[in-house]
Amino acid sequence: MRLVKLTLFYLVIIILAMMLSLAGVRLSISLAIFALIVLAIIYRHIHILFRTNNMQSVDKLVKDRKKEPFFAYLYAIAYETKEDQLQSLDVVIKKYKQPAVKYNYIFIKAIMEENLEEAKDAADKINKEPLASYAKCYIAALEGRTADMRSAKLTQPWMQPAIEAIYAYTIKNEDAFQQYQKESINLARGVQKYALTHSFKEMRKKM
């Protein structure tokens, strides 16, 4: 499907180039038009990934690209079982070689498997902020160490409310969980908002 879309896109570009040429438009102007089109497409993609609040747009992107490891994991969070999610994480972990990314996904998998020792080991190996601090605060919330589950290094606005929601979930405080998970989702954008929405939705079912 993606190959078909790319083929159609390039076909449209070629046809547009021919039309501009026949119309006597200078090459420099034609190139500028093509550059603007490409930039608009790239901006839209980045906006959906990182800035949008429109979860329908994110969902469409996830479905369209679910054969890619990262999007396959997001698709599994939204539509598949825990076993499918773990399998998709294995693929992501195998694919990404950057330590921060790799150990972040190892951390997520360990949390899903309720393996705190492996989660702690992974958190110690995440060499990038705010991911490292988020992982450590997450573990502190699970263990009820309230003094350690808050950090100024949680620089993404959604992070601290998410940790508070995890702690509320751990102590079975449904009202606090509802408050903080909603706050976290509202502050997140793009694929992060999508992941939080579906992750917290699954947690609500277990409250």
pLDDT in tens, 14-23: 666 566 556 6
Q: Which two tokens stand for residue 26?
A: 């200078």
Residues 157, 73: one domain? Answer: yes
Q: What is the pLDDT of residue 17?
A: 59
Residues 29, 63: one domain? Answer: no
Residues 165, 141: one domain? Answer: yes
Q: Pick the last residue of a domain from 34, 50, 66.
A: 50
Q: What is the pLDDT of residue 103?
A: 98
Instruction: Report d(CA 112, CA 132) in Å as an integer.
Output: 17
Residues 65, 154: one domain? Answer: yes
Question: CB-based contacts of 55: which residues, under 8 Å, 6+ apart?
Answer: 193, 194, 197
Residues 112, 160: one domain? Answer: yes
Give the pLDDT mean for 81-107: 96
Give pLDDT tens digits for 143-166: 999 999 999 999 999 999 999 999
| Number of domains forming the structure of the chain | 2
- How much of the chain is in helix, strand and coil states, percent to nearest 5? 80, 0, 20
Residues 84, 173: one domain? Answer: yes
pLDDT band of residue 125 (cuts 50, 70, 90) is very high
Residues 77, 167: one domain? Answer: yes
Residues 69, 38: one domain? Answer: no
- Which residue type is seen at 149? M
Q: What is the pLDDT of residue 90?
A: 98
- Which residue type is seen at 44? R
Instruction: Report d(CA 92, CA 7) in Å as an integer.
Output: 28
Instruction: Report d(CA 123, CA 46) in Å as an integer.
Output: 28
Do 64 and 56 meet the contact criterion of CB atoms below 8 Å apart? no
Residues 190, 131: one domain? Answer: yes
Supply the range of the domain harboring residue 8: 2-50
Instruction: Report d(CA 47, CA 42) in Å as an integer.
Output: 9
Residues 75, 161: one domain? Answer: yes
Q: What is the pLDDT of residue 52?
A: 97
Residues 104, 129: one domain? Answer: yes
Q: Which two tokens stand for residue 5?
A: 């879309």
Q: Global pTM?
A: 0.87
pLDDT band of residue 207 (cuts 50, 70, 90) is confident
Q: Which two tokens stand for residue 31?
A: 């190139």
Residues 45, 85: one domain? Answer: no
Residue 4 has pLDDT above 60, yes or no: no
